[in-house]
Amino acid sequence: MDKFIINGNRKLSGEVRISGAKNAALPIMTASLLARGKTVLHNVPHLNDIKMMAHLLRVIGARIDFDGSTMTIDTTHCSYFEAPYELVSKMRASIYVLGPLLARFGQARVSFPGGCAIGTRPVDLHLKAMEQLGAKINLSHGYIIAQTDRLTGNRINFAKSSVGATANALMAAVLAEGDTLLENCAREPEISSLAVLLQQMGAQIKGIGTRILNIRGVKELHPVEATIIPDRIEAGTFLVAAAITNSTIKITNCCSEHLESPLEKLRNIGFNFILDNDAITINPGNIILPQNLQTTPYPGFPTDLQAQFMSLLTLAGGESRIEDTIFPDRFMHVAELNRLDADITVQGNTALIRGVKFLSGAPVMATDLRASAALVLAGLAAQGTTEISRIYHIDRGYERIEEKLVNLGAEIKRIQG
Ligand code: UD1
Q: What percent of the chain has pLDDT over 70?
A: 98
Say if residue 70 is in the same domain as residue 207.
yes
Helices (H) and strands (E) in the chain, counts: 14, 24
Instruction: Say yes or no: 82 and 103 in one domain.
Output: yes
Q: Return the pLDDT at 417.
A: 84
pLDDT, position 53: 97
* Preceding peptide of 84 cis, ω within 30°: no
Q: Model-level pTM?
A: 0.97
Q: Clarify whether residues 265 and 214 are in a common domain.
A: no
CA atoms of 118 and 371, how far apart (whole Å): 9
CA atoms within 13 A on the CB side of 19: 21
Is 322 within 8 Å of 293 (Cβ atoms)?
yes
Q: For residue 115, what is the domain's CATH number? A: 3.65.10.10
**In contact, 372 and 364? CB cutoff 8 Å:** no
Is the C-beta atom of 124 inside 6 A of ligand 1?
Answer: yes
Decide if 389 contacts 1 (C-beta within 8 A): yes
Quick one: 46 and 175 in the same domain?
A: yes
pLDDT band at 361 (very low <50, low <70, confident <90, very high): very high
Q: What are the tens digits of pLDDT across the range 10-42?
A: 999 999 999 999 999 999 999 999 999 999 999
Q: Do 234 and 219 lie in a common domain? A: no
Q: Which residue, 180, 209, 227, sits at the end of a domain?
A: 227
* Ligand 1 contact, 95 CB (< 6 A): no
**What string of H, E and C letters represents the secondary structure of 136-166?**
EEEEECCEEEEECCCCECCEEECCCCCHHHH
Same-domain pairing of 8 and 128: no
Same domain? For 357 and 321 the reply is yes
Residues 166 and 51 grouped into a single domain: yes
Query: 8 to each of 163, 186, 409, how far by Cα in Å?
Result: 36, 38, 11
- What was the pLDDT predicted at 127? 96
Q: Which H or E run includes 415?
A: strand 411-415
Q: How many structural domains does the chain have? A: 2
pLDDT at 344 over 80: yes
CB-ligand 1 contact for 295 (6 Å cutoff): no
Rounded to 5°, angle at Cα 325 from 340 and 287: 45
Q: Is the CB of 25 under 6 A from ligand 1?
A: no
Residue 222 and residue 113 share a domain: yes
How many residues in the chain?
417
| CA 399 to ligand 1 center in whole angstroms | 22
CA torsion 393-398-401-404 (nearest 10°) is: 180
Are residues 99 and 170 in contact, defined by beta-carbon separation less than 8 angstroms?
Answer: yes
Please identify, by atom number, the ligand 1 atom nearest to the C-alpha of residue 118.
12
Q: How far apart are CA 396 and CA 393, in angstroms?
A: 5
Same domain, yes or no, for 306 and 398?
A: yes
**Nearest-angstrom CA–CA distance, 414 and 273:** 31
Q: Examine the fold and report which residue of 227, 255, 289 is the final residue of a domain before the chain moves on.
A: 227
Asked if 10 and 82 sit in the same domain, the reply is no
- Name the residue of 163, 237, 261, 325 whose CB sits within 8 Å of the most ligand 1 atoms, as the mutation to test its pocket: 163
pLDDT, residue 87, reads: 92
Is 116 a known active-site residue?
yes
Neighbour count for residue 219 (Cβ, 10 Å) = 8
Supply the range of the domain harboring residue 389: 3-19+230-415
> Cα(161) to centroid of ligand 1, in Å?
8
Closest by CA position to 22, among listed 113, 93, 101, 107: 93
Across the chain, mean pLDDT equals 96
pLDDT band at 117 (very low <50, low <70, confident <90, very high): low
Please, are residues 288 and 313 in contact by the beta-carbon 8 Å criterion?
A: yes
Are 160 and 116 found together in one domain?
Answer: yes
DSSP E strand stretches across 69-227:
70-74, 82-83, 107-111, 136-140, 143-147, 155-157, 179-183, 204-206, 213-216, 225-227
Q: Which of 227, 249, 266 corresponds to the end of one domain?
A: 227
Q: What strands lie across the sheet with 272-275, from one edge to the other?
A: 13-17, 248-252, 279-283, 272-275
Confidence of residue 115 (pLDDT cuts 50, 70, 90): low
**How much is the pLDDT for 363?**
97
DSSP assigned state of 289: P
Tally of CB atoms within 10 A around 127: 21
- Cα 182 to Cα 31, 175, 185, 268, distances in angstroms: 18, 14, 6, 35
User: How much is the pLDDT for 210?
Assistant: 98
